[in-house]
């Protein structure tokens, strides 16, 4: 009837898990195989932090070092999805929503515009996660032991309740990522295939 009713919904898969659990690594593999667009909230924030003249660069850096979550208005996930346009088969939304503020902002902006397929939830022992972060080799200002501890605290207190929220809706697909990458990717691939990707 109206133009709105025929508007294409953005297909979305959320990727959540502790720092160093392999979210980015899994997204790279899946993106290649399935033609999905990978949007990492952390990457978008680091990009904005580097942008010359950014008014929020220092604020972003303070949150990143401190392992706390940047206010959702600054985390331009929605703009990034819109910028990627209609042609995308779907989006891998990596590291978002990470707390209640992220989730509230997402709902405010995206309700009625997205088809939330599932949440890929990666689980990995903290000892493995910290080793992986300290060896990541990207020179990140938060890949040190002190920041890692803060990130894990934030993850446990603020992100796990978001996973629970999606679990209640039957949307969580859990994969143990504390294993060799080939095994992890085999299970991740299966989850996407079962979801019709
Ligand atoms: N299954 C795995 N086994 C060993 N190392 C891994 C595995 N998955 C990812 N890594 C490595 O661990 C580090 C963190 O992975 P990354 O994908 O950046 O995690 P996240 O995005 O969840 O922080 C990277 O150096 C990556 O190459
Ligand atoms: N939704 C998000 C995602 C990341 N971030 C910030 O960016 C940091 C790094 O996030 P990331 O997703 O790149 O980190 P990993 O979990 O991939 O190691 C987080 O610790 C937060 O400080 C945020 O504020 N909000
Ligand atoms: Mg990452």
Segment 58-112, tens digit of pLDDT = 999 999 999 999 999 999 788 888 888 777 889 999 999 999 999 999 999 999 9
Triad 12, 17, 22: Cα angle to 5°:
90
The residue assigned the tokens 């990470």 is: 98
Distance CA 71, CA 91 (A): 21
Number of DSSP helices (H) and strands (E) in the chain, helices first: 9, 5
Across the range 140-154, mean pLDDT stands at 98
* Mean per-residue pLDDT of the chain: 94
In short, whether 131's Cβ falls inside 6 Å of ligand 1 is no
Cα(68) to ligand 3 centroid in Å equals 15
Triad 183, 188, 191: Cα angle to 5°:
135
Pocket test for ligand 1, best of 25, 45, 130 (most atoms within 8 A of CB): 25
The confidence band for 3, taking pLDDT boundaries of 50, 70 and 90, is very low
Q: What is the pLDDT, as a whole number, of residue 87?
A: 75
Q: Where are the alpha helices (DSSP H) in the chain?
A: 23-34, 41-50, 57-66, 77-84, 100-110, 126-134, 145-154, 160-168, 181-194
Give the residue, by CA position, lying nearest to ligand 2 atom 4.
42
ipTM for the whole predicted complex goes beyond 0.90: yes
pLDDT tens digits, residue range 114-138?
A: 999 999 999 999 999 999 999 999 9
4-194: CATH topology is Rossmann fold (3.40.50)
Q: What is the pLDDT, as a whole number, of residue 85?
A: 73
Question: What is the torsion angle, in degrees rounded to the nearest 10, for the CA atoms of residue 39, residue 41, residue 45 and residue 48?
Answer: 30
Residue 2 has pLDDT above 50, yes or no: no
């Amino acid at each position: 009837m109206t133009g709105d009713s025929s508007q294409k919904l953005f297909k979305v898969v959320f990727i959540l898990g502790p720092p160093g659990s392999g979210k980015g690594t899994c997204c790279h593999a899946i993106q290649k195989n399935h033609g999905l667009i990978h949007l990492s909230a952390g990457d978008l924030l680091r990009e904005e932090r580097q942008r010359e003249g950014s008014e929020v660069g220092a604020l972003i850096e303070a949150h990143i070092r401190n392992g706390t979550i940047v206010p959702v208005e600054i985390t331009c996930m929605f703009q990034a999805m819109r910028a990627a346009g209609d042609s995308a088969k779907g989006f891998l939304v990596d590291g978002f929503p990470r707390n209640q503020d992220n989730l509230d902002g997402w709902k405010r902006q995206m309700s009625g515009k997205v088809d939330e397929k599932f949440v890929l939830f990666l689980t990995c022992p903290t000892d493995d996660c910290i080793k992986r972060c300290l060896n990541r080799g990207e020179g990140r200002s938060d890949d040190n032991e002190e920041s890692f501890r803060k990130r894990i605290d934030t993850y446990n207190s603020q992100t796990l309740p978001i996973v629970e929220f999606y679990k209640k809706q039957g949307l969580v697909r859990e994969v143990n990522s504390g294993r060799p990458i080939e095994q992890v990717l085999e299970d991740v691939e299966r989850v996407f295939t079962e979801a019709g990707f």
